[in-house]
């Protein structure tokens, strides 16, 4: 008997511990289970108070308050609803955070069911004011989905809405709102040609062809009898072309949730769409044909234990290969582990749900994957409902927080901060290279189902203790590289910029300030000109956006009396500054002056590492 007990003890000790542990009861996320809401309610996650960690905004149920839970660290949250100013929720669908006014904080857009949508403007502290009507986005219909992206690349996020039906229960087109450059919007749906008429439940911006112009993916419900999934290619001129058939992305399914990523570390933007039918859809980009290929069955991730809803790619074990979490309405959620193999091998993904403790089976629609305790391991937050059939029963709470304690690989968390680009960096492509492996993610919005996820990127690094190279391709077109970045930290990458410290008035001096993070210790040159075109061509095909005219020749010459420090060495953080002395000549008033800078590196093409266009300013 003792031998049997000892043997059993050894077996138990040998079993791997679950990767995820339910910490809801000690987290402060105290909300009673919510009654069942058909097709679910939205909620969102973001750093709303600007303290570096992720907070939660969650509606209890229609006609009750939006609850605001501030993250106090160490998986502990406190209820700050009373001071948040969010008021009472309707029957809300997707809630999506974004910085619509470029003031550096996260605002929240709320899709509502047949009542005007809401836009809550953040004052930077997690206190909000509702301004949808004033800003032109109080659309009222059966609005299901909202995604932000800068489709015209003017540095301000635009808004695309997925609309299922209207109040008369007839089809109505999706909507595109253009940000006018101040956080106020106009409807440009017709001119842009993106009035998708399917029963859209989820939509996202994604640059599938990597041309720098964000495209639109619509996941449409009832696609077997109604319009199937659709992709609108951004033509770069304010208009879009529907290309789903041409690129084989027109699957006719009951499209519910969406996410995309470079799942095989080969540069392709691969898309997962949940379904209620025989299988989910996993379409993988084939660069040789410039089309998508359905691979859910070959990869083993098409299993549908019940209707599928949210889905999110995540590297749960930090091995440098993105895995996949899928929510099911009344069956078990599933977690699929990427086999770390090229797509050509068609290696099946492994179902690790039971081993990781992620098989939540309460009635549910939505989840968010995020690093809530900032320990470099991605956690999972599920929203639970009382079952409408009684089969799944009553969950213990409205939320379920699963803390990841199992990831052993190294990691890097990145937040992007745009300057010429939108402040969130939405649409930026971030490439992280360690050894022979290059991962790529786009800063994205609208993924999952009904939820708004934080706009930060998480990269597992496996055994690597340092990132060899980070490359950021910003929506503005600027390209930035950082080298030798230490693993196991969160970093903020600022877009390279050149800026003026004050208004350029004749007879005054001001500074022109250069910020080129990642270029510390390199030499730089900055200059002024009266035109940006044709620019200074480089043999690599790049162009410095300054015409080398008389003004450029003068201001790039050391010792000139206008731009006093046109060249030098960047500080360790990549900063430099020059005095700009504007002559006291009335004839200069009204001149439009262009500015630009470059950093120099002998190992870079043409010896030029980074090109930084600066502001165009008018002399006053």
Output the domain CATH number for residue 127.
2.130.10.10
pLDDT (tens digit per residue) in 448-470? 999 999 999 999 999 999 999 99
Do the domain assignments include residue 166? yes
Pairing of strands 410-417, 489-494: parallel
Q: Which tokens go with 296? A: 């859910």
pLDDT tens profile 219-261:
999 999 999 999 999 999 999 999 999 999 999 999 999 999 9
Euclidean distance between CA atoms 428 and 246, whole angstroms: 25
Burial 222-258 (b: 16+ CB within 10 A, else e): bbeeebbbbbbbbeeeeebebbbeebbbbbbbbbbbb
479 Cβ contact partners less than 8 Å away, ≥ 6 residues apart: 471, 472, 473, 610, 611
Average of per-residue pLDDT across 91-96: 94
Strand, coil or helix: what is 24? helix
The last residue of a domain, from among 348, 371, 404: 404
Reduced to 3 states, what is the DSSP secondary structure of residue 212?
coil
pLDDT band for position 4 (cuts 50, 70, 90): very low
Instruction: Decide the pairing of beta strands 66-71 and 77-79.
Output: antiparallel
What is the percentage of the chain residues whose pLDDT exceeds 70? 96
Which of these, 462, 478, 489, 498, lies nearest to 429 by C-alpha position? Answer: 478
* Strand pairing class (43-46; 451-452): parallel
Average pLDDT, the chain: 94
For residue 75, what pLDDT is reported?
97
Note whether residue 583 is domain-resident: yes
Instruction: Count H helices and E strands in the chain, helices first.
Output: 7, 46
Do 513 and 375 fall into the same domain?
no
Interatomic CA distance for residues 433 and 469, integer angstroms: 5
Residue 12: count of CB within 10 angstroms of its CB: 8
Once rounded to an integer, what is the mean pLDDT over residues 351-362? 95
Same-domain status, 514 and 399: no
The reply to whether 394 and 527 lie within a common domain is no
160 and 279 together in one domain: yes
The two beta strands, 592-600 and 410-417, are unpaired
What is the reported pTM?
0.95
Domain boundary residue, one of 362, 384, 404: 404
Q: What is the arithmetic mean of pLDDT over 260-285?
A: 96
List the 509-515 sheet strands across, edge first. 497-500, 509-515, 575-581
Q: Are residues 386 and 511 in the same domain?
A: no
Q: For residues 81 and 204, state if they share a domain.
A: yes
Whether residue 178 is found in the same domain as residue 294: yes
pLDDT digits over 34-75, tens only?
A: 888 889 999 999 999 999 999 999 998 788 889 999 999 999
Tell me the C-alpha distance between 135 and 39, whole Å: 28
Among candidates 437, 598, 596, which has minimal Cα distance to 529?
Answer: 596
Phi, psi of 41 (to 5 degrees): -125, 150
Asked whether the beta carbons of 359 and 333 are under 8 A apart, the reply is yes
Count of domains for the chain: 2
For residue 438, being part of any structural domain is answered with no
Largest CA distance in the chain: 102
In a domain, 478, yes or no: no
Res. 391: pLDDT tops 70: no
Last residue of a domain, one of 354, 373, 404: 404
Instruction: Count CB atoms within 10 A of the CB of residue 201.
Output: 27
Task: Report the CATH number that the domain containing residue 507 is assigned in CATH.
Answer: 2.20.130.20
Residue of 510, 593, 525, 594 lying closest to 556 (CA atoms): 525
Task: Report if residue 240 sits inside a domain.
Answer: yes
Q: How sure is the predictor about 169, in pLDDT bands with cuts at 50, 70 and 90?
A: low
What is the torsion angle, in degrees rounded to the nearest 10, for the CA atoms of residue 354, residue 357, residue 358 and residue 364? 100
Residue 609 lies in a domain: yes
Is there a domain that residue 482 lies in? no
CA angle 576, 582, 583 (to 5 degrees): 145
Contact 120, 156 (CB under 8 A): no
In a domain, 571, yes or no: yes
DSSP string, 147-211: EEE-TT-SSS-EEEEEE---TTSS----EEEEE-SSS-EEE-HHHHT----SEEEEEEEE-TT-S
Per-residue pLDDT at 5 exceeds 60: no
What domain range is 75 assigned to? Answer: 20-29+39-317+326-404
pLDDT tens digits, one per residue of 492-516: 999 999 999 999 999 999 999 999 9
pLDDT of residue 599: 98
Q: 1: pLDDT confidence band, cut at 50, 70 and 90? A: very low
SS3 611: strand
pLDDT band at 167 (very low <50, low <70, confident <90, very high): low
């Amino acid at each position: 008997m003792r031998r049997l007990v000892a043997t059993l003890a050894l077996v138990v000790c040998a079993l791997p511990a679950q990767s995820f542990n339910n910490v809801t009861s000690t987290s402060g996320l105290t909300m009673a289970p919510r009654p069942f809401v058909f097709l679910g309610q939205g909620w969102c996650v973001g750093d709303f108070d600007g303290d570096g960690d992720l907070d939660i905004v969650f509606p209890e149920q229609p006609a009750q308050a939006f609850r605001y839970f501030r993250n106090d660290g160490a998986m502990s949250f406190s209820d700050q609803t009373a001071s948040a100013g969010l008021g009472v929720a309707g029957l809300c669908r997707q809630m999506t955070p974004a910085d619509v006014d470029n003031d550096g904080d996260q605002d929240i857009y709320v899709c509502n069911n047949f009542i005007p949508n809401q836009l809550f403007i953040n004052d930077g502290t997690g206190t909000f004011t509702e301004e949808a009507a004033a800003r032109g986005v109080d659309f009222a219909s059966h609005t299901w989905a909202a995604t932000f992206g800068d489709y015209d690349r003017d540095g301000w996020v635009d808004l695309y809405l997925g609309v299922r039906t209207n109040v008369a229960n007839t089809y109505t087109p999706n909507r595109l709102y253009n940000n006018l450059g101040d956080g106020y919007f106009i409807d440009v749906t017709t001119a842009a040609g993106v009035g998708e008429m399917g029963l859209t439940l989820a939509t996202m911006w994604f640059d599938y062809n990597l041309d720098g112009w964000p495209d639109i993916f619509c996941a449409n419900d009832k696609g077997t009898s109604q319009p199937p999934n659709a992709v609108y290619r951004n033509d770069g001129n304010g208009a879009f072309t529907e290309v789903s058939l041409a690129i084989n992305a027109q699957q006719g399914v009951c499209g519910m949730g969406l996410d995309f990523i470079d799942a095989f570390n080969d540069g392709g933007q691969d898309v997962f769409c949940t379904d209620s039918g025989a299988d989910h859809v996993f379409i993988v980009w084939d660069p040789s044909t410039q089309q998508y290929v359905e691979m859910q069955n070959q990869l083993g991730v098409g299993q549908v234990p019940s209707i599928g809803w949210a889905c999110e790619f995540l590297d749960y074990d930090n091995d440098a290969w993105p895995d996949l979490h899928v929510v099911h309405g009344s069956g078990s959620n599933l977690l699929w582990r990427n086999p770390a193999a090229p797509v050509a091998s068609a290696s099946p993904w492994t179902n690790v749900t039971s081993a990781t403790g992620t098989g939540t089976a309460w009635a549910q629609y939505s989840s968010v994957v995020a690093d809530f305790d900032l320990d470099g391991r991605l956690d999972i937050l599920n929203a639970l409902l009382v079952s409408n059939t009684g089969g799944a029963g009553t969950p213990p709470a409205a939320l379920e927080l699963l803390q990841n304690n199992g990831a052993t690989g190294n990691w890097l968390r990145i937040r992007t901060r745009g300057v010429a680009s939108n402040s969130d960096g939405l649409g930026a492509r971030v490439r992280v290279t360690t050894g022979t492996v290059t991962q790529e993610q786009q800063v994205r919005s609208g993924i999952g189902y009904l939820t708004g996820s934080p706009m930060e990127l998480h990269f597992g690094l496996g055994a690597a203790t340092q990132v060899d190279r980070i490359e950021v391709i910003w929506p503005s077109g600027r390209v930035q590289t950082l080298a030798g970045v230490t693993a196991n930290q969160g970093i903020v990458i600022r877009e390279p910029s050149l800026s003026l410290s004050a208004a350029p008035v004749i007879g005054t001096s001001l500074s022109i300030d250069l910020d080129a993070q990642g270029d510390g210790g390199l030499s730089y040159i900055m200059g002024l000109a009266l035109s940006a075109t044709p620019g200074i061509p480089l043999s690599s095909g790049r162009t410095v956006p300054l015409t080398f005219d008389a003004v450029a020749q003068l201001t790039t010459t050391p010792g000139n009396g206008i731009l006093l420090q046109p060249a030098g060495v960047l500080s360790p953080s990549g900063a430099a500054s020059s005095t700009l002395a504007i002559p006291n000549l009335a004839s200069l008033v009204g001149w439009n002056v262009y500015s630009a800078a470059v950093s120099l590196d002998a190992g870079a093409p043409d010896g030029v590492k980074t090109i930084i266009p600066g502001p165009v300013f008018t002399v006053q």
